[in-house]
Structure 1
Amino acid sequence: MNIESKKLGNFLAMARSKMNISLRSVESLTGISNAYLSQLETAKIKTPAPQNLYKLAEVYGVPYILLMELAGYPITEPDGDGTRGSSQFAARIGAVTDDEEAQLIEYLDFIRSRKIMRS
C-alpha cells in the first residue's frame, strides 16, 4: 500500500461519510462499481483511473485536481495564459475515437470563434 493511495482512500471515505451516502449510492451516481469504490477507499487500488476520479470529484463536490494529487498523479500549474496542459483534459474525458476527436476539435473551434466575435 503506498502513501498516496492511503491518503486518497481516507479522503474519499470521509467525503462519502460527510454526505451520508452509501457505496451503492455513489455507484448509481457515477457508474463506478461499489466493489471498485470500496477498494479505492481501502487503498487496494494503487492507480485509479483519472476519469473515475473526475466522476467522484463531481459527486463529492471536491476539486478534481485534489483527487489527482492525492492519487499521486503529477499536477501541472496553469500556464501564464490560464490554460492547462492537454494531458489533464485527456485524462478527464478518457479514450476517444478519431471521429470523436475530430468532432471535439470542431466544436472547440466553434466555441472559440464565438468568444472572438463577442469581444
Structure 2
Amino acid sequence: MENYIGYFKALRESKGLTLREVERQTEVSNAYLSQLESGKIKQPSPLTLHKLSEIYGVGYDILMEKVGYPPLKKKVAEINRDKSSIALRVGSITEDEEVELLNYLKFMRSRKK
C-alpha cells in the first residue's frame, strides 16, 4: 500500500524535526526513516509505527491503517478523542489534502519561530 508516501515526511516536518532528531528520539535509523518517507519500505513494523506515533503525536491506529494493517478495535476513550478530530470539524479529507494540511501547518509553525 503506497497511499502514505509523503505522509510521514509531512508529519515529521510539521513537527520541525529532522531525520536525525527522529532517529535519536525513536532509535529508528534515519536511513530506514528516509526509505519509509519515500515509500521504499512497504509495511513498517508495528513497533516502528508505535514509536513514530508517539513522537509525531498521531494515533497509532491511524499509522497502522495508513500503511495497510487492518483497523484496530477502538476503545471508548479513543472514540471520544476522535470526536474532536479535525475531520469532524472540516469534513472528510483526502490523503492528498491531509499531506497539504500538514505542510501548511509546518509553514505556519515556522513563521512563529
Q: TM-score, normalised by structure 1?
A: 0.60
The structure, 1 or 2, with the larger RCO (C-alpha pairs under 8 Å, 6+ apart) is: 2
Q: 1:17 to 1:78 in 2, by over 3 A?
A: closer
Q: How does 1:1-119 map to 2 (within 5 A)?
A: 4=1, 6-78=2-74
Displacement over 4 Å in runs of 4+: none
Identity of aligned residues (%): 45
Shift of residue 22, structure 1, vs aligned partner: 0.5
SS at match of 2:5: helix
* RMSD, aligned α-carbons: 1.8
SS at match of 2:6: helix
Alignment check: 8 A CA contact 2:53 2:59 kept: yes
- The size of the alignment, in residue pairs, is 77
| Per-residue CA distance 1:46-81 (angstroms, 9 max, x = gap) | 1101000000000000000000000100113248xx
Structure 2: 5+ residue stretches without partners: 77-113
